[in-house]
Structure 1
Amino acid sequence: MRRRSLIFAAVPAGLVTLAACGDDKSDDSSSAADGSASPSASDPSAAPAPKIVDGPLPAITAGARLGEKPTVAKGSGDPSDQLAVKTVVAGGGRTVAENDYVQAHYLGQVWDTAKVFDNSYDRKTPLVIQLAAGSIIDGWRYALTGRKAGSRVEFSVPPTWGYGKEGNSQAGIKGTDTLVFVVDIEGTFNAGSSAEGKDVPQDDAAVPKVGTNTDGKAPSIEIPQADPPKKLVANYVIEGDGETVTADSSVLVQYKGVVWDTGKEFDSTYGRKALTSFGLQQVVKGWSQGLTGKKVGSRVVIVIPPDLGYGDQPPAGSGIEKDSTMVFTVDILAKM
Structure 2
Amino acid sequence: MRRRSLLIAVPAGMVTLAACGDDKDDSSKASDSASPSTPQESAAPSPKIVDGPLPAITAGTKFDEKPTVAKGSGDPSKDLAVKTVIAGNGTTVVENDYIQANYLGQIWSTAKVFDNSYDRKTPLLIQLSQGRIIDGWRYALTGKKTGSRVQMAVPPTWGYGEQGEPQAGIKGTDTLVFVVDIQKTFNTKSSAKGTEVAQDNTDLPKVGTNTDGKAPSLEIPKSDPPKKLVANYVIEGDGDEVTAENTVLVQYKGLQWDTGKEFDSTYANKQLVSFPLQKVVKGWSQGLTGKKVGSRVLIVIPPDLGYGDNPPQGSGIAKGATLVFSVDILAKM
Shift of 1:46: 0.8
| 2:204 pairs with one of 207, 210, 213 | 207
- Give the match for residue 244 of structure 1: 241
Shift of 1:5: 2.5
- Give the match for residue 181 of structure 1: 178
Separation in 2, partners of 1:27, 1:224:
41
Shift of 1:282: 1.2
Shift of 1:63: 0.6
- Alignment check: 8 A CA contact 2:99 2:186 kept: yes
**Bigger mean CA deviation after superposition, 180-189 or 75-84:** 75-84
| Amino acid corresponding to residue 242 of structure 1 in structure 2 | G
Separation in 1, partners of 2:327, 2:319:
23
- Give the match for residue 43 of structure 2: 46
Shift of 1:315: 2.2
Identical aligned pairs, as a percentage?
A: 73
Shift of 1:109: 0.8
- Give the match for residue 190 of structure 1: 187
| 1:17 pairs with one of 23, 47, 56 | 23
- Give the match for residue 6 of structure 1: 16
Separation in 2, partners of 1:220, 1:180:
46
- Give the match for residue 322 of structure 1: 319
Separation in 2, partners of 1:164, 1:194:
37
Q: 3-state SS of the aligned residue for 1:142?
A: helix
| Amino acid corresponding to residue 208 of structure 2 in structure 1 | G
- Give the match for residue 102 of structure 1: 99
Q: Which runs of 5+ in 1 are unaligned?
A: 20-25
Q: 3-state SS of the aligned residue for 1:182?
A: strand
**Bigger mean CA deviation after superposition, 87-96 or 34-43:** 34-43
- Alignment check: 8 A CA contact 2:15 2:312 kept: no
Separation in 2, partners of 1:109, 1:165:
17
**Cα displacement string for residues 173-223 of structure 1 (whole angstroms, at most 9, x for unaligned residues):** 111111110000011111111112111111121221101111111110011
Shift of 1:67: 0.7
Shift of 1:255: 0.6
Q: Tell me whether 1:265 sits opposite 2:262 in the alignment.
A: yes
- Structure 1 residues 294-309: aligned runs within 5 Å: 294-309=291-306
- Give the match for residue 23 of structure 1: none
**Bigger mean CA deviation after superposition, 320-329 or 153-162:** 320-329
- Alignment check: 8 A CA contact 2:235 2:297 kept: yes
| Amino acid corresponding to residue 42 of structure 1 in structure 2 | P
Q: 3-state SS of the aligned residue for 2:162?
A: helix
- Give the match for residue 118 of structure 1: 115
Separation in 1, partners of 2:148, 2:167:
30
| Amino acid corresponding to residue 297 of structure 1 in structure 2 | G
Separation in 1, partners of 2:51, 2:42:
23
| 1:139 pairs with one of 136, 139, 158 | 136
State the TM-score, normalized to the length of structure 1: 0.92
- Alignment check: 8 A CA contact 1:45 1:138 kept: no
- Alignment check: 8 A CA contact 2:282 2:306 kept: yes
Q: 3-state SS of the aligned residue for 2:199?
A: coil
Separation in 1, partners of 2:290, 2:178:
34
- Alignment check: 8 A CA contact 1:240 1:295 kept: yes
Q: Tell me whether 1:217 sits opposite 2:223 in the alignment.
A: no
- Give the match for residue 63 of structure 1: 60
Over 3 Å counting, the alpha-carbon distance change for 1:295 and 1:27 in structure 2 is farther
- Structure 1 residues 275-290: aligned runs within 5 Å: 275-290=272-287
Shift of 1:261: 1.3
Q: Which runs of 5+ in 2 are unaligned?
A: 1-10
Shift of 1:148: 0.8
Q: 3-state SS of the aligned residue for 2:242?
A: coil
| Amino acid corresponding to residue 106 of structure 2 in structure 1 | Q
- Alignment check: 8 A CA contact 1:44 1:135 kept: no
Separation in 2, partners of 1:43, 1:180:
17
State the TM-score, normalized to the length of structure 2: 0.93
- Alignment check: 8 A CA contact 1:51 1:83 kept: yes
- Alignment check: 8 A CA contact 1:45 1:133 kept: no
Query: How many positions carry a matched residue from both structures?
Result: 323
**Cα displacement string for residues 35-59 of structure 1 (whole angstroms, at most 9, x for unaligned residues):** 3211122333211000111111111
Separation in 2, partners of 1:244, 1:175:
40
Q: 3-state SS of the aligned residue for 1:184?
A: strand
Q: 3-state SS of the aligned residue for 2:244?
A: coil
- Give the match for residue 5 of structure 2: none
C-alpha RMSD of the superposition: 1.8
Separation in 2, partners of 1:27, 1:291:
23
Separation in 1, partners of 2:113, 2:308:
50
- Alignment check: 8 A CA contact 2:207 2:326 kept: yes
Shift of 1:268: 0.5
- Give the match for residue 162 of structure 2: 165
